[in-house]
Amino acid sequence: MVEDGVTNTVDSSKGLDLSQYDEEQVRLMGEMCIELDQNDRAIGAVSKKQSHLMENINKGVLHRAFSVFLFNSENKLLLQQRAVEKITFPDHWTNTCCSHPLATESELVEHEQLGVKRAAQRKLQHELGIKPEKVPLDKFKYLTRIHYLSPSDGMWGEHEIDYILFIKADVDLDPNVNEVKDTKYVSMEELKSFIGSAEKNGTKLTPWFKLIDVNFLYKWWAQLDNLDTMVDANTIHRLL
């Protein structure tokens, strides 16, 4: 495992024209994600742009990600609708926050998933305006990992090993409109109804959210106050 430094993968997509996309989202495509082998071992750094191009995904490029599920004191789950400016899966509803730890010293740390938790805290503030002190690192509960691949359109897609993080907190929201179009809290029954009617209503859902919903979410949610019994720390669930 690389922690003090990483090997940068050469970006073969430097000539790609991104002028049709939002300027800030293009800037974020320059961030360096953590490139992985199939067993979640860091093998280098790869740009967000390069790691999300289907041309590279089809060659096996894989990166680390996380999905946060934040519940309030009423055990309602916070959802977000991704902004239309997003390059991958714009306008899709999804769980509270989904993003990537960066190939930096602080976010490469694997002990107790600290790097992933630091990234989650950072992105909750960036996307939703949630103050770090409202979501302290020791309150995140890591449950398991999923490995999935999903195209977004002909050019972009996702190929990730995704760390699932639950947290229970009452927070104030100040969404970044360049990241988030809408938010809402839902009960378990409300989410089942929302997802069940999504296709009929033309509501778009992110693929990782659908996979987690079908395979895991409700059994975890039912044990929200007893999550230690749900932890499967060593497994990578291959949902390919």
Catalytically annotated residues: 98, 160
Q: Which residues pair with 80 in a beta bridge?
A: 94, 183
Taking alpha carbons only, the member of 63, 110, 71, 116 closest to residue 88 is: 63
Distance of CA 188 to the CA centre of its chain: 21
- C-alpha span between 173 and 183 (Å, rounded): 9
Report the distance separating Cα 107 and Cα 117, nearest Å: 8
Quick check: 146 and 208 in contact, CB under 8 A? Answer: yes
Contact indicator for 208, 150 with CB cutoff of 8 Å: yes
CA 124 to each of CA 2, 83, 101, 137, 206: distance values in angstroms, whole numbers, following the listed order:
26, 15, 12, 12, 18
Non-local (6+) Cβ contacts of 149 within 8 A are 57, 157, 158, 159, 240
> Which three-class secondary structure state does DSSP give residue 183?
strand
